[in-house]
């Protein structure tokens, strides 16, 4: 089963105006079910634009986007994905638990089920003891875990993440990477992940997609086959070789 199928997609912003921007040109991309795919490329190459197209937050100028075999708009209505961005984007006046419950509230899930689902998600990200706290009482890494819990609360088959760990220190970031992989393995979630970090992309991904400067095109699609996805993997020759391959593709 294919989680995401992007075919011949181009995106022009402000078409026909002096500030016209060709953000993406003729992009083809397939994400298989359960696969973890990272998008990497120079600033402004259209990574976020591609993610927003998949999420149906914007429409392509040309081409098609299907999610779980459905047009992107239908997939959005059917709650086929959850989204987590660089800023955790939590509501300060809601407790952690009620932040996680929010997408369920919007979908009119009954209160008891909402509560149970929020507890399940908080346990998954290791924050069971913090449901009653407010976001301001948590560290940046913990807030990001709440955002992931919230994205997963509707049990989406697909997770869309735009530099979710960009603002975190290296140690926290590596810990969350490992946790994210465990969560994805446990839930079978497919993931499209935007990052600027080559090592992050390699550690997390089954496939690293390299994009060129504007208009963004896919210039390389590199399969990553690490023997494991634990701390030892970060020290492995396979890991360093893959990092070099991605770096070369970015420079090409």
**Subset of residues 154 to 193 that bind ligand ATP, contact rule: CB under 6 A:** none
250 contributes a contact to ligand ATP by CB under 6 A: no
Is the Cα torsion angle 105, 87, 48, 172 positive or negative in sign? negative
Interface with ligand ATP (CB under 6 A), residue total 13
Of 12, 21, 154, 250, the residue at the interface with ligand ATP (CB under 6 A) is: 21
- Minimum Å gap between C-beta 48 and ligand ATP is 3
| Residue 45 or 67 with smaller CB distance to ligand ATP | 45
Print burial letters for 220-230: b (CB count within 10 Å at least 16), e (below 16). bebebebeebe
217 counts as binding ligand ATP under rule CB under 6 A: no
Q: Could you tell me if 236 and 226 are in contact, meaning their C-beta atoms sit under 8 angstroms apart?
A: yes
Best CA proximity match to 146, nearest among 157, 132, 158, 156: 132
> Which of helix, strand or coil describes residue 67?
strand
Q: Residue 191: enclosing H or E segment and its boundaries?
A: strand 190-194
The one segment of 25-33, 42-50, 118-126, 200-208 that binds ligand ATP by CB under 6 A: 42-50
Number of other residues whose CB lies within 10 A of the CB of residue 111? 10
Q: Binding to ligand ATP by residue 49, rule CB under 6 A?
A: yes
Q: Which stretch binds ligand ATP (CB under 6 A): 39-47, 116-124, 130-138, 181-189?
A: 39-47
Binding test (CB under 6 A) with ligand ATP, winner from 25, 40, 46, 207? 46
């Amino acid at each position: 089963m294919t989680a995401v199928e992007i075919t011949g997609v181009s995106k022009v912003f402000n078409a026909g105006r002096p500030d016209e921007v060709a953000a993406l040109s003729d992009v083809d991309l397939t994400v298989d079910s359960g696969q973890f795919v990272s998008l990497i490329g120079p600033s402004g190459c259209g990574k976020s634009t591609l993610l927003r197209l998949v999420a149906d937050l914007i429409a392509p100028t040309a081409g098609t986007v299907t999610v779980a075999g459905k047009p992107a708009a239908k997939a959005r209505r059917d709650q086929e994905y959850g989204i987590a961005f660089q800023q955790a984007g939590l509501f300060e006046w809601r407790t952690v638990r009620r932040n996680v419950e929010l997408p369920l509230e919007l979908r009119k899930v009954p209160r008891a089920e909402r509560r149970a689902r929020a507890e399940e998600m908080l346990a998954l990200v290791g924050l069971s003891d913090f449901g009653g706290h407010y976001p301001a009482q948590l560290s940046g890494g913990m807030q990001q875990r709440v955002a992931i819990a919230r994205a997963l609360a509707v049990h989406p088959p697909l997770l869309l993440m735009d530099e979710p760990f960009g603002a975190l220190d290296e140690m926290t970031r590596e810990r969350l990477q490992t946790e994210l992989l465990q969560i994805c393995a446990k839930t079978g979630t497919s993931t499209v992940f935007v990052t600027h970090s080559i090592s992050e992309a390699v550690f997390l991904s089954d496939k690293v997609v390299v994009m060129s400067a504007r208009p963004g095109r896919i210039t390389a699609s590199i399969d990553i086959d690490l023997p494991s996805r634990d701390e030892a993997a970060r020290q492995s020759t396979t890991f360093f070789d893959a990092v070099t391959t991605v770096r070369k593709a970015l420079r090409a």
